């Protein structure tokens, strides 16, 4: 059997989280049309007769301007040095540029095999230019293979999976085969709320918003388990609160309804969600809040 770790590398919005969900066959990572959706290392686990693949979904590569972003890039760099195989994903529907060069630079001192994966081949723009876009990468790094895919439509994903298992070292699975993720339930809850929020707001606001689970209680009722959640949507400035609250509170209400339904579906419990919008100037540079926000993150040491 072949078992080991795989890191997902690429720019924001390349489709890394979509691919991790497609490989695992279950939703373990949130996805949105906004860049910088993933802020932590999310672990997805896939166990088959062939072995076990531990996938690390990572934040998209970008130049950090805040402590939050520096933390994101730090965990990314660290993960790249630890894994058995790296998957470098790019959006094949877009012309490469300086952002892509910055991603390739991260591979300069990396000795592990890297598989180049052009994604979004379902989009018309991707097909026409794919050869030339692949060449942009292969001229700058020695990839072990190239596998075009559509993570969204599932095209090429089985082929990619087979290639990745081939590249993993011969080893028995070391994690429980039933496991699909190692993140804590509380962390996944805040992620699902952030996903609902990202689907409702655009532009600069998503970068400036965090989800903070203040308190949770579980209760057994005659109708099954009830999960009560008290959650803050944290923004940078008082003036931004209005955007999330919306006229007559309709935006925060819609985010809450959407998130509650997702949490209920994925965790199989009834949920009561108290969602508040709060301003916390400078939260992206606040060491204490950042530590608290990542404390429930399911970090798995590949050496364990």
Ligand X SMILES: Nc1nc2c(ncn2[C@@H]2O[C@H](COP(=O)(O)OP(=O)(O)OP(=O)(O)O)[C@@H](O)[C@H]2O)c(=O)[nH]1
- What is the binding site for Mg ion (CB under 5 A)? 16-17, 37-38
Determine, following the binding rule CB under 6 A, whether residue 122 of this chain makes contact with ligand X: yes
Helix runs in 37-91, H state only? 67-82
Residue length of the chain:
304
- Closest to ligand X by CB, 60 vs 173, is 60
Nearest to 85 by CA among 102, 107, 63: 107
What part of residues 47-66 is at the interface with ligand X (CB under 6 A)?
59-60
Residue 94 binds which of ligand X, Mg ion, none (CB < 5-8 A, kind-dependent):
none
Determine, following the binding rule CB under 6 A, whether residue 112 of this chain makes contact with ligand X: no
Q: Rounded to the nearest whole angstrom, what is the least distance from the CB of residue 259 to ligand X in the complex? A: 17
Determine, following the binding rule CB under 6 A, whether residue 16 of this chain makes contact with ligand X: yes
**Which residue is nearest to ligand X, using beta carbons?**
60
- Closest to Mg ion by CB, 1 vs 266, is 266
Q: Rounded to the nearest whole angstrom, what is the least distance from the CB of residue 300 to Mg ion in the complex? A: 17
Residue 52 binds which of ligand X, Mg ion, none (CB < 5-8 A, kind-dependent):
none
Query: Rounded to the nearest 5 degrees, what angle is found at the Cα of 133, between the Cα atoms of 128 and 139?
Result: 150
Q: Rounded to the nearest whole angstrom, what is the least distance from the CB of residue 44 to ligand X in the complex? A: 12
Determine, following the binding rule CB under 6 A, whether residue 147 of this chain makes contact with ligand X: no
The neighbouring-strand residues paired with 46 are: 53
Are the C-beta atoms of residues 22 and 151 closer than 8 Å to each other?
Answer: yes
Residue 36 binds which of Mg ion, ligand X, none (CB < 5-8 A, kind-dependent):
ligand X
Nearest to 118 by CA among 135, 134, 105: 134
Q: Are strands 51-57 and 42-48 parallel, antiparallel or unpaired?
A: antiparallel
User: Per DSSP, which regions of 10-74 are E strands?
Assistant: 42-48, 51-57
User: Per DSSP, which regions of 124-223 are E strands?
Assistant: 145-146, 209-221
110: which residues sit within 8 A by CB, 6+ positions away?
80, 81, 86
Q: Rounded to the nearest whole angstrom, what is the least distance from the CB of residue 76 to ligand X in the complex? A: 10
Q: Rounded to the nearest whole angstrom, what is the least distance from the CB of residue 93 to Mg ion in the complex? A: 17
- Which of 1, 26, 36, 144 contacts ligand X by CB under 6 A? 36
- Angle between helix axes 250-267 and 238-245 (nearest 10 degrees) is 70
- Closest to ligand X by CB, 87 vs 189, is 87
210: which residues sit within 8 A by CB, 6+ positions away?
194, 233, 234, 283, 284, 289, 293
Residue 300 binds which of Mg ion, ligand X, none (CB < 5-8 A, kind-dependent):
none
Determine, following the binding rule CB under 6 A, whether residue 120 of this chain makes contact with ligand X: yes
Structure tokens at 236: 């940078």
Chain residues that interact with ligand X, rule: CB under 6 A: 10, 12-18, 31-33, 35-38, 59-60, 119-120, 122-123, 150-152
């Amino acid at each position: 059997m072949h078992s080991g770790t795989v890191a997902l590398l690429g720019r924001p919005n390349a489709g890394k989280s979509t691919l991790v969900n497609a490989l695992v066959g279950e939703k373990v990572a949130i996805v949105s049309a906004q860049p910088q959706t993933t802020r932590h290392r999310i672990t997805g686990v896939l166990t088959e007769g062939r072995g076990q693949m531990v996938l690390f979904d990572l934040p998209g590569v970008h130049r950090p301007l805040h402590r939050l972003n520096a933390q994101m890039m730090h965990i990314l760099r660290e993960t790249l040095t630890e894994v058995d195989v790296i998957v470098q994903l790019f959006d094949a529907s877009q012309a490469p540029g300086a952002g892509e060069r910055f991603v390739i630079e991260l591979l300069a001192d990396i000795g592990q095999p890297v598989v180049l994966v052009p994604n979004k081949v379902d989009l018309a723009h991707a097909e026409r230019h794919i050869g030339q876009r692949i060449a942009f990468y292969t001229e700058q790094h020695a990839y072990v293979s190239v596998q075009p895919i559509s993570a969204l439509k599932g095209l090429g994903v089985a082929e990619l999976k087979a290639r990745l298992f081939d590249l993993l070292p011969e080893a028995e699975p070391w994690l429980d085969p039933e496991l699909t993720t190692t993140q804590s339930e509380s962390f996944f809850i805040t992620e699902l709320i952030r996903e609902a929020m990202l689907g409702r707001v655009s532009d600069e606001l998503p970068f400036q918003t965090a989800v903070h689970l203040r308190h949770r209680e579980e209760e057994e009722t005659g109708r099954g388990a009830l999960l009560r959640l008290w959650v803050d949507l944290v923004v940078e400035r008082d003036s931004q609160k209005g955007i999330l609250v919306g006229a007559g509170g309709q935006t925060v209400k819609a985010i809450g309804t959407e998130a509650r339904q997702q949490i209920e579906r994925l965790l199989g419990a009834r949920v009561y969600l108290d969602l508040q919008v709060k301003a916390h100037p400078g939260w992206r540079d606040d060491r204490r809040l950042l530590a608290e926000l990542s404390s429930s993150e399911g970090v798995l040491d590949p050496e364990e």
